[in-house]
Amino acid sequence: MTVCITGDVHHMGMDTRDQAYLDGTEVAAAVEYAEIAAEHDVPVTLFCTGKCVTEEPDLMAELAAMDNVELAGHNYWGFTTPVHAAWRALGKVTGGRVGSWMGPRPFQAHEIRKTIDVFEQLGVRITAWRDHAYRHDSHTADLLQDHGITHYSDAVEPRGTVRERSELTVVPINTPPDHEHVYHAFRTPEFVAESGFEGPFGTESRSPEGWVEWVLDHLADHRDADVVGTVLAHPACMQLADGFEAFEELCSAVDQGVLLSEIEA
């Protein structure tokens, strides 16, 4: 099966709920994740916030030097600035007529440029992008194209296929994302039962081993349909869930892995 394994990596300054349970940092978890994938000859695409580079330049340089790793953009600040907060609030007040999670168009363009620039300090020219939390607005695709991004993975679609949009190659996540569907850290059965969450793959969460079985079932269906299977497995989630055991099982099942920027529509 042709599989693209991806992960999202956030700087610790975001202070996410998962990060409170980590012994180290998300970037450190990403290095271990990439090393496990390399043991199985599996390439991985890691969407990292730009602040990861400024907070942990040495570990990010280590990731950049790994042959099986593609570094990609995941915003710079992860929507944590006052500009993001104000524009998000404006969106709520106006019912979405004005405002968005991304900030005003000039600010969104600035954040894309800033992310690209900081990765170039590592000698990496990023060409793939996923906005944090799958967020985007009417300007995002055109801005990414204007800044030389060629591949975009911003949607969760159980039956999603690779396609072109605004001259970008869109690669949807078409297997159950781990963060929303694996028990880990704060995401306990009790939390899930009370959360009211429902996404494209429904409301269910599973144990790490159950999640891998679920993902592999979807990958088998995509293989039969001659569709590239795209997995979202966060390094932090995989570490917190069971110390990467499920992730290693997933990697061992991949017989043809691809980087996101290698995928053609």
Domains detected in the chain: 2-262 (3.20.20.370)
As given in the structure block, the two tokens for residue 181 are 């569907």
Short-list 2, 80, 9, CA closest to 237 = 9
pLDDT of residue 233: 98
Contacts of 141 (CB under 8 A, 6+ apart): 152, 165, 166, 168
Phi and psi, residue 193, nearest 5° = -60, -30
pLDDT of residue 24: 98
Question: Could you count the other beta carbons within 10 Å of the beta carbon of residue 125?
Answer: 10
Distances, alpha carbon 34 to alpha carbons 40, 126, 156, 177, in Å: 10, 18, 23, 18
pLDDT of residue 240: 98
Give the Cα separation of 66 and 38 in Å (integer): 9
CA angle 1–60–32, rounded 5-degree value: 50
Short-list 137, 178, 136, 176, CA closest to 153 = 136
Question: Could you count the other beta carbons within 10 Å of the beta carbon of residue 151?
Answer: 26
Cβ atoms of residues 48 and 74 within 8 Å:
yes
Contacts of 230 (CB under 8 A, 6+ apart): 3, 4, 6, 153, 160, 171, 172, 173, 174, 175, 260
pLDDT of residue 86: 96
pLDDT of residue 234: 98
Helix or strand holding residue 91 (H, E): helix 82-93
Give the Cα separation of 85 and 226 in Å (integer): 42
Secondary structure class of 26 (helix, strand, coil): helix
Strand partners, 137: none
pLDDT of residue 165: 87
Short-list 115, 120, 116, CA closest to 50 = 115
Contacts of 221 (CB under 8 A, 6+ apart): none
Residue-level pLDDT, tens digit, the chain, 265 residues: 789 999 999 999 999 999 999 999 999 999 999 999 999 999 999 999 999 999 999 999 999 999 999 999 999 999 999 999 999 999 999 988 889 999 999 999 999 999 999 999 999 999 999 999 999 999 999 999 999 999 999 999 999 999 998 899 999 999 999 999 999 999 999 999 999 999 999 999 999 999 999 999 999 999 999 999 999 999 999 999 999 999 999 999 999 999 999 999 8
